[in-house]
């Protein structure tokens, strides 16, 4: 296992100016596996480790992916797993399981099981980070966390999707884990401009880093054969899940919110119909 010492080449503020822009062509700057620390602080900042997970690959290939078009016209094929917080603006009155959990329970079971293995790997990278993240996640009820590790609440699988520079702003200040599986596809590596590194996202590798903190983006991809793909399976912890109640209490809360909204809508309609 190689140990790297990295220095920041741009400030977090300078990296922020890249958010929303597209990543250029870059080749990986290092060979995996490695664990990298900040040269000035000595803190662990990222890692890339091998991961053999044929069951996880099969699970991801079995899913149906939603085509989300970005303003630029670029496609983002993705599927969400784990749990989702309330989102009243989308009429989501209750915390709930994701679409994968409902439609593909066998795949969700594999994704849940791998949460534990990835948490173990994070502990080997840096036990202090794993312990700190576990303490942070005590804010979320155990029924809303993935697997026995309880480090993450949710995840997304991106299929052959090039993503612009961004931070994971809706997440807790914890680390993310991202196994990658690919065939017949070039590019698709992870550029982290603050450290001037491009993390190799080769087949059967897992990238670990604090996605809420570091700006990151995916380099362009090119399909080399018709059945090619690049799957990135991102495990993360959503801050919105800390307000979720346990079991029946969440259902009861959602019903109260729904009833209040329906009553308000009925009142507004009745007011409009009243003669002036």
Output the pLDDT for position 248: 64
Mark whether 77 and 132 lie in a shared domain.
Answer: yes
| Residue 254 and residue 129 share a domain | no
Within 8 A by CB and 6+ apart from 169, the residues are 212
Q: How far is CA 190 from CA 53, 166, 199, in A?
A: 20, 11, 5
Count Cβ atoms within 10 A of the Cβ of residue 273 and give its class: 0-12 exposed, 13-18 middle, 19 or more buried: exposed
CATH number at residue 230: 3.60.130.30
pLDDT at 72: 47
Q: Is the same domain home to 206 and 71?
A: yes
Q: Which one, of 182, 97, 218, 192, lies nearest residue 146 by Cα?
A: 97
Would you place residue 88 in the very low, low, confident or very high pLDDT band (cuts 50, 70, 90)? confident
The pLDDT assigned to 91 comes to: 72
**For residues 59-71, average pLDDT:** 82
Q: Which residue(s) pair with 197 in the sheet?
A: 192
Is 69's pLDDT higher than 80? no
| DSSP code of residue 89 | G
Q: Are residues 215 and 169 in the same domain?
A: yes
Residue 106: phi, psi to the nearest 5?
Answer: -65, -40
> Residue 75 in 3-state DSSP?
strand
Q: Which residue has the higher pLDDT, 89 or 139?
A: 139
- Give yes or no: residues 201 and 273 share one domain: no
The mean pLDDT value for 146-170 works out to 94
Round to the nearest angstrom and report the end-to-end CA distance of the chain. Answer: 78
* Each residue's pLDDT tens digit, 203-233: 999 999 999 999 999 999 999 999 999 999 9
* pLDDT at residue 257, rounded to an integer: 57
Mean pLDDT (whole number) for 38-51: 98
What pLDDT is attached to residue 217? 97
What is the reported pLDDT for 265? 56
pLDDT digits (tens, 9 = 90+) for 163-183: 999 999 999 999 999 999 999
% of residues, the chain, pLDDT over 90? 76
Boundaries of domain holding 274: 245-276
What's the pLDDT score for residue 169?
A: 94
Q: What is the pLDDT of residues 229-274, one digit of tens each?
A: 999 999 999 999 999 988 666 766 656 655 665 566 566 666 667 7
| Confidence band, pLDDT 50/70/90 cuts, at residue 66 | confident
pLDDT at 254: 54
Shared domain check, 250 and 238: no
* 27 and 62 together in one domain: yes
Clarify whether residues 35 and 161 are in a common domain.
Answer: yes
Report the pLDDT averaged over residues 11-23.
97
Is the domain of 119 the same as that of 181?
A: yes
Specify the number of domains making up the chain.
2
């Amino acid at each position: 296992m190689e140990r790297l010492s990295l220095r920041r080449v741009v400030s977090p503020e300078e990296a922020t100016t890249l958010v929303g822009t597209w990543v250029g062509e870059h080749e990986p700057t290092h060979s995996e596996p490695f664990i990298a620390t900040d040269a000035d602080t000595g803190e662990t900042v990222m890692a890339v480790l091998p991961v053999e997970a044929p069951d996880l690959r099969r699970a991801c290939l079995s899913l149906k992916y939603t085509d989300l078009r970005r303003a630029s016209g670029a496609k983002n094929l993705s599927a969400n797993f784990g749990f989702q917080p309330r989102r009243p603006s989308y009429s989501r009155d209750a915390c709930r399981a994701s679409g994968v959990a409902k439609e593909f329970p066998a795949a969700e079971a594999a994704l849940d099981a791998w949460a534990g293995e990835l948490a173990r790997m994070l502990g080997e990278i840096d036990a202090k980070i794993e312990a700190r993240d576990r303490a942070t996640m005590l804010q979320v009820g155990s029924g809303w966390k993935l697997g026995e590790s309880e480090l993450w609440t949710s995840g997304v699988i991106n299929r052959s999707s090039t993503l612009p520079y961004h931070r994971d702003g809706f997440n807790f200040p914890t680390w993310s884990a991202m196994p990658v599986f690919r065939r017949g596809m070039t590019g698709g590596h992870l550029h982290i401009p603050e450290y001037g590194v491009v993390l190799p996202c080769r087949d059967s590798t897992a990238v670990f880093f604090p996605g809420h903190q570091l700006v990151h983006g995916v380099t362009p991809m090119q399909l080399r054969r018709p059945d090619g793909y690049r799957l990135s399976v991102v495990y993360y912890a959503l801050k919105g899940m800390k307000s979720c109640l346990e079991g029946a209490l969440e259902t009861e809360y959602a019903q109260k919110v729904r009833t209040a909204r329906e009553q308000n809508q009925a009142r507004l309609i009745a007011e409009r119909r009243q003669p002036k």
